[in-house]
Amino acid sequence: MRKLLSLSILIVLFLGWACTEEESETTVLVTEEVLYTSAENVRLLGRLITNQTITVADHGFYLSEDEAFASPIIISLGPKDGPGRFIGEANGLTNSKSYFAKTFMDLGGEIQFGNVIQLNTLGPVLESFSPTFGAVGQTLDIIGQNFTADTKVFFGENEAVINSLDFESRIKVTIPSASNVSVPIRVVVQDKTLEFPTSFEYQIGTYELISKFPESVRIYDNVFYNASNGLIIGLGTVSKNSFYSKFQQFDLGSKSWKEVSFPGSSRSFAFFTNNYIGGGTAALTPNPYTINQSFWRINGGGFERLPDLPFESRESIAFESNGSLYVLGSKEGNPLALRKYNPSTKAWQNLPESPVEFSATNANFVYEGNFYVVDSEAILWKYDVSSGQWNSVSTYPGNLGQGYGMGQVIGDKAYVGLYRRTTDLWELNLNTMTWISKNDIPRTAQDITVAHFEKDGFLYIMRMPDITIAGSFPMNLYKFDPNGL
């Protein structure tokens, strides 16, 4: 409409000039239209129409919240020679507000104005944010409209650092420290506060270093199991150079260690549970390995030797269910073998083979009497002990590293990850079969997990550098709080 008005004025002027024998001097100043508005910016188009030579000392626009222009914002564009369009821009306006605008020109002390038009700045709008789940220090994107330069973003009560605000519609922020696991995201644009309907979920989980292995050694390919109030770890090798022939017991209450003797022969790569130790290698030299077929039951603080294994086992997985022991896979003999040990009869039974190869390199856990294991393709398998059926039930979303991950159940959730040369840990809800990531464990990505156990809702994890990392490094025992902020 404003363009049509300007065109009509021009047509009338030209017709008037054409019909007049003597040209009259005509000058018209027009406030044509609003080219652009946002929450705080406006861009205006004006035009000076004249049939004479004209020079103005200044020209531009007046902008005001009231039609009387009592306290106007003056957009000065400076001197101008002759007719033509001109564009002016104002910044720092208030969002969602009505303004009045008009053109002006300064003819050497005489100010002339054009017509008045009304405009409205826009209100801010929220559209989305991503990711919806993340950790402190990560970057989060907020998409919306009409954000102003002084926009602020809050996660709950904690203000986020804004890294960039682009095109008044995209904000990049650094996720601030957590006050709660789930917090609303508020965006404050001048005098308006907007809030997303869904909350942001923090990636959580805290690690506390509570102890170190009592000897200045690094043991590999070891055995570990739960004590009544802590951890027992041992056997395996010292930096793969010599056997470590004993155990060390850690007591959570006193945070102290004590040595535990083992009456059996040394070994590495043995299978183990909280009640059994068996198999493994009897010599350090491979190609081929000498297999240790002795089999032991753990009785409280002591050990009872059982009849030797009727099969060879190296890096097998062992788990218990309904009072029986199961041994799965091996890097010696049949890698698909599944065997069941009956402690009453002290007899072994061969069960149908597994669908894929498994060994101690595969993270695994037991939940409600059934066995779960992550294969080399990240598929999570469930072995139903009652039916003997194998089924793929999920896919592990984390980094498989170089194998040898851990699995540990706390309540209805399993914690899987911390593979060799990785630091990520994932929580699996065993009711919904959904995964969420937890905070990474401290130290370096070259570490490996050598022991883990659960106590009173906390996960305890022992880590140390991989064998390829030279130097003197301790074996660190961490306490992990899955719900820690």
What residues pair up with 297 in beta bridges, in sequence order?
Answer: 276, 304
Superfamily of the domain at 206-481: Kelch-type beta propeller (2.120.10.80)
Q: Is CATH 2.60.40.10 what the domain over 125-202 is classified as, yes or no?
A: yes
Element (H, E) at 75: strand 73-81
Q: Is residue 427 helix, strand or coil? A: strand
pLDDT at residue 308, as a whole number = 97
CA angle 445, 449, 452 (to 5 degrees): 140
* Fold exhibited by the domain 2-120: Immunoglobulin-like (2.60.40)
Residues with Cβ within 8 Å of 344's Cβ and at least 6 positions away in sequence, in order, are: none
Q: Are 102 and 64 within 8 A, CB to CB?
A: no
What is the b/e burial string over 201-216, where b = at least 16 CB atoms within 10 angstroms of the residue's CB? ebbbbebeeebebeee
Is residue 192 within 8 Å of residue 42, measured between CB atoms? no
Report how far residue 180's alpha carbon sits from residue 171's, in angstroms, rounded to the nearest whole number: 23
Which residue bears the tokens 């929450």?
Answer: 39
pLDDT of residue 16: 45
- Using CA atoms, how far apart are residues 62 and 104, in angstroms rounded to an integer? 7
d(C-alpha 93, C-alpha 64), whole Å: 10
Counting DSSP H helices and E strands in the chain, the numbers are 1, 45
pTM value is 0.80
What value, to the nearest 5°, has the Cα angle with vertex 153 and ends 147 and 157?
A: 150
Q: Which backbone phi and psi does 28 adopt, to 5 degrees?
A: -130, 130
Both tokens assigned to 14: 């030209």
Q: Classify 243 as helix, strand or coil.
A: strand
- Say if 125-202 and 206-481 have the same CATH topology: no
The residue behind tokens 């301790």 is: 474
Dist CA 322 CA 4 (whole Å): 88
Give the dihedral sign, CA 139/140/143/147: negative
Query: How far does CA 361 lie from the centroid of its chain?
Result: 26
Is 59 exposed, middle or buried (CB count within 10 Å of its CB: 0-12, 13-18, 19+)? buried
Q: What integer pLDDT is reported at residue 23 of this predicted model? A: 54
Spell out the domain ranges in the chain: 2-120, 125-202, 206-481
> Which neighbouring-strand residues pair with 220?
237
In DSSP notation, 44-59 reads: EEEEEEESS--EEEEE
Cα–Cα distance for residue pair 102/113, rounded to 1 Å: 7
**CA distances, 284 to each of 239, 268, 329 (Å):** 11, 8, 21
pLDDT of residue 468: 86
Nearest CA among 451, 29, 483 for reference residue 257: 451
Query: 256 and 272 in contact (C-beta within 8 Å)?
Result: no
Task: Tell me how far apart the terminal alpha carbons of the chain are, to the nearest angstrom.
Answer: 59
| Digitized pLDDT (tens) for each residue of the chain, 485 residues in all | 444 444 444 444 444 444 444 456 788 999 999 999 999 999 999 999 988 888 899 999 999 999 999 999 999 999 999 899 999 999 999 999 999 999 999 988 889 999 999 999 999 999 999 999 999 999 999 999 999 999 999 999 999 999 999 999 999 999 999 889 999 999 999 999 999 999 999 999 999 999 999 999 999 999 999 988 899 999 999 999 999 999 999 999 999 999 999 999 999 999 999 999 999 999 998 889 999 999 999 998 799 999 999 999 999 999 999 999 999 999 999 999 999 999 999 999 999 999 999 999 999 999 999 999 999 999 999 999 999 999 999 999 999 999 999 999 999 999 999 999 999 999 999 999 999 999 999 877 789 999 999 999 999 999 999 988 888 889 999 999 999 98
pLDDT for residue 26: 82
